[in-house]
Structure 1
Amino acid sequence: MSSSLPARRRRHGPLHFAAVALAALLSAFTAVGSRGETLQYHLTPVAFRDLPGFSEDRLDEALKVFARTCDRPVRSEKLIQGFSPAAQAKVCALARKGEGASDPRAFFTRHFRTYLVAVDSTADAFFTGYFQPEIPGSLVRTKAFATPAYGLPPDLVTLSRQQKVGAFADLTAARKGPDGALTPYPDRGAIEDGALEKLPGVKTQVFLRDNVDLFLAQVQGSARVRLQDGRVLRLSFAGRNGQPYTALARVLVQRGVATPAEMTMRRLTDWIREHGVARGEAGDDLLRLNRSFVFFDARLDTRPDEQPEGGSGVALTPLRSIAIDSRIWPYGLPFFIDARMPWRSAESEPFQRVMIAQDTGSAIVGPARADVYFGLGDTPGARASEIRHHGRFYLLLPID
């Protein structure tokens, strides 16, 4: 799906920036960081010919994914400047009419401008991988399946930027009481201790084996739950409690359990189970350090082999779909990733591809951050769990 050929500089299409465009070399914007701090991010114009590996990418694949996602609604709280919904709608209509089918490279170079994304003057982006795991579950609580995966609570509201002050400075959501008053939403520990058990309107979508399986589904943002009668229930991201996200793998690395290169998702979940998931045990204590808690939509799957839907409502495509921080970037925008990672085997090789923003996740925070979707099941999961790599992240904005 992507080339492992060395990057070459070639001239593609009409987008060779004029002096007036280059005069505005660095455009500065602001974004909210993982702990609510303000980050400066910059968009530097880059010619398509300077994108490493762009000339070798299978852009027909990327164009098909773009056409399926480009009409996703844009939230009003977007922090990005320079994005024109009208331009997006125009290029979306052209893609859906089939323009670019014979020459997808010309389609992208004709209708988009490319920008390197840099945070605080550093053009370093961080990429991870995710997949949709399959885990066992039950629609009724049993001794073997006693951990609830909840639907979105009715009293959970998203906070606006103006509301993120005081006790809410580090939060993205809160609980709204009957009188309209806002309070911080219960964190993971409180929810695991039963804070939502008797809350009116909260639906338990399914019961899982333990809080490790729940955590795995929450980190991935979705899961295939194999029920005891063989049916498949799909869980998809519905929202989160707004509490800060803590990377538990980083905690174990800081404790000396493993090096960053050794710390995979499997290593993390094995450590948690080995150290106990009951209340007061070390594994459970570690999980509670991550106060963020994800809620799910659920539906029985009549086509269990199909890819899951992302937060955009569109089915994900392995190695073409990315999860981004949807508070900053609109769904449906193309990006270009330039990195080296072990995406096809255990050996690192160039990953230079146009990707489409189709999803979001609790850990995907900030402008220079993306999660690459690898697919369904254990084999994609093994590859995805190895991805914790740095590179460069480029934004493709439609021309107005």
Structure 2
Amino acid sequence: MLRMALAGLLATPAFAPVWAQAQRPHLTPVGIADLPGFTDDRLDEALKAFIKTCDKAAQSSLPVDGFDRAAQARVCAAARRGEGAANPRAFFTRRFRAFLVSGDQAGDAFFTGYYQPEIPGSLVRSREFPTPVYGLPPDVVTLSSAQRIGALADLTAARKGANGALTPFPDRAAIEDGALDKAPGVKTLVYLRDNVDLFLAQVQGSARVRLPDGRILHLSFAGRNGQPYTALAKVLVQRGVATPAEMTMRRLTDWIRRNGLARGQAGDELLRLNRSFVFFEARFDAQPDRQPQGGSGAPLTPYRSVAIDSRIWPYGLPFFIDAQMPWRGPEPTPFQRVVIAQDTGSAIVGPARADIYFGLGDVVGERASEIRHHGRFYVLLPLD
């Protein structure tokens, strides 16, 4: 579920392109039992989430000092056999070492929240639902670092012609003007109300589309056109529409709709500044309230699954977050929980960075969009 958190919409230099060199984390050992709030956490919930992806550690791309894949495999096997079921706190205390993660000398970490939105749609194009959602075109290919030269230098994907030649894929403006309407092999999956709903699904990387007959069509990330991403919230902040602290996803989408989505209107022009365009896969589900899958392939667990920089951290690793944030309501309260690395996102860059999955629908989405908070981030590495 490759997504872009609101912090990515505000994109400061800390949120570098996804192909930038990964930063190695600095780890300071701490006592796991001394983690703030650790003894009060519902670690049975954390253990269940851990078991879902504890065998995914081999998907990491950057060696982590002190991480032993064989030890992870042994801990995973023990958890799957039922060790820890009776006393999950003893399991985590006995099986893991805790380290404070630092991306800088301050040891500070930054957290955001994300969710899966539910939006209305239709399988049939109509005046009410005119906006197509496209499947991944068959001629889109991901570029290697060696291929990012010349006209492709700033791209992450491109169009591969019948002769093998690579050219830039159409950007958002061209696609919205119909560049894919007659493209061979391109499937239209569903139709939405407008480009704001499409943008919202693309930012989150997935969506639940409620059809007129009540069925839920799940959209999940399939790929993108490779064009550069522009932070639209940052554009509005620079224009004086709101301060960074005031800018939320709701405020951004409301501004776009208020200022018009017709060709040439200000809302439409703002959307077109973001040349990046996301494509989806679609499926019906007999269990419409099922949680979406993360990049690890496992269903996400609200408040237990986090997206991390997967170039640095392997999927399946447990972490501990210690922060004050408005996750239960409008007032900040302690978020002191073991969470599991089960997803990633293009705005999740660096070792001391995590995006917390809040769940399904607009109610939790309102809370998730408010999370842009600092705190402490600890990694739990398996003991030898």
- TM-score with structure 1 setting the length: 0.84
Q: 1:196 to 1:73 in 2, by over 3 A?
A: farther
- TM-fit CA distance, 1:37: 4.1
* Paired amino acid for 1:397: L
Instruction: Name 1:344's counterpart in structure 2.
Output: 328
Instruction: Name 1:296's counterpart in structure 2.
Output: 280
Q: Could you say what secondary structure the match of 2:24 adopts? A: strand
Say whether residues 1:58 and 2:51 are aligned partners: no
CA distance, structure 2, for counterparts of residue 218 and residue 175 of structure 1? 20
Instruction: Name 1:216's counterpart in structure 2.
Output: 200
Q: How does 1:208-357 map to 2 (within 5 A)?
A: 208-357=192-341
My pick for the range that moved more, 43-52 or 297-306, is 43-52
Q: How does 1:1-400 map to 2 (within 5 A)?
A: 33-34=16-17, 36-38=19-21, 40-47=23-30, 48-72=32-56, 74-75=58-59, 78-82=61-65, 83-165=67-149, 167-400=151-384
* Paired amino acid for 1:81: V
Q: 1:212 to 1:337 in 2, by over 3 A?
A: same
CA distance, structure 1, for counterparts of residue 107 and residue 276 of structure 2? 28
My pick for the range that moved more, 366-375 or 172-181, is 172-181
* Paired amino acid for 1:126: F
CA distance, structure 1, for counterparts of residue 248 and residue 295 of structure 2? 25
CA distance, structure 1, for counterparts of residue 75 and residue 88 of structure 2? 13
CA distance, structure 2, for counterparts of residue 51 and residue 137 of structure 1? 45
- TM-fit CA distance, 1:140: 1.9
CA distance, structure 1, for counterparts of residue 170 and residue 56 of structure 2? 31
* Paired amino acid for 2:53: T
CA distance, structure 2, for counterparts of residue 366 and residue 244 of structure 1? 19
CA distance, structure 1, for counterparts of residue 367 and residue 49 of structure 2? 22
My pick for the range that moved more, 300-309 or 348-357, is 300-309
Q: Could you say what secondary structure the match of 1:44 adopts? A: strand
Whether the 8 Å CA contact 1:153–1:202 is kept in 2: the answer is yes
Whether the 8 Å CA contact 1:132–1:377 is kept in 2: the answer is yes
CA distance, structure 2, for counterparts of residue 174 and residue 75 of structure 1? 25
- TM-fit CA distance, 1:299: 0.8
- TM-fit CA distance, 1:166: 5.0
Q: 1:207 to 1:328 in 2, by over 3 A?
A: farther
CA distance, structure 2, for counterparts of residue 339 and residue 351 of structure 1? 5
CA distance, structure 2, for counterparts of residue 121 and residue 169 of structure 1? 33
Identity %: 74
Whether the 8 Å CA contact 1:39–1:120 is kept in 2: the answer is no
- TM-fit CA distance, 1:397: 2.8
Instruction: Name 2:8's counterpart in structure 1.
Output: none
CA distance, structure 2, for counterparts of residue 190 and residue 221 of structure 1? 21
Q: 1:209 to 1:39 in 2, by over 3 A?
A: same
Whether the 8 Å CA contact 1:218–1:293 is kept in 2: the answer is yes
Q: Could you say what secondary structure the match of 2:226 adopts? A: coil
Q: Could you say what secondary structure the match of 1:131 adopts? A: strand
- TM-fit CA distance, 1:348: 0.6
Q: Could you say what secondary structure the match of 1:105 adopts? A: helix
* Paired amino acid for 1:293: F
- TM-fit CA distance, 1:306: 2.2
In structure 1, list runs of 5 or more residues that go unmatched: 1-30
Whether the 8 Å CA contact 2:321–2:376 is kept in 1: the answer is yes
- TM-fit CA distance, 1:100: 1.3
CA distance, structure 1, for counterparts of residue 123 and residue 37 of structure 2? 47
Whether the 8 Å CA contact 1:41–1:118 is kept in 2: the answer is no
* Paired amino acid for 2:111: F
Q: Could you say what secondary structure the match of 2:180 adopts? A: coil
Q: 1:362 to 1:213 in 2, by over 3 A?
A: farther
Q: Could you say what secondary structure the match of 1:55 adopts? A: helix
In structure 2, list runs of 5 or more residues that go unmatched: 1-13
Whether the 8 Å CA contact 1:57–1:354 is kept in 2: the answer is yes
* Paired amino acid for 2:204: Q
- TM-fit CA distance, 1:52: 2.5
- TM-fit CA distance, 1:232: 0.9
Q: Could you say what secondary structure the match of 2:298 adopts? A: coil
CA distance, structure 1, for counterparts of residue 311 and residue 182 of structure 2? 31
Q: Which has the higher contact order (CA 8 A, sep 6+)?
A: 2
CA distance, structure 1, for counterparts of residue 70 and residue 171 of structure 2? 40
- TM-fit CA distance, 1:61: 0.7
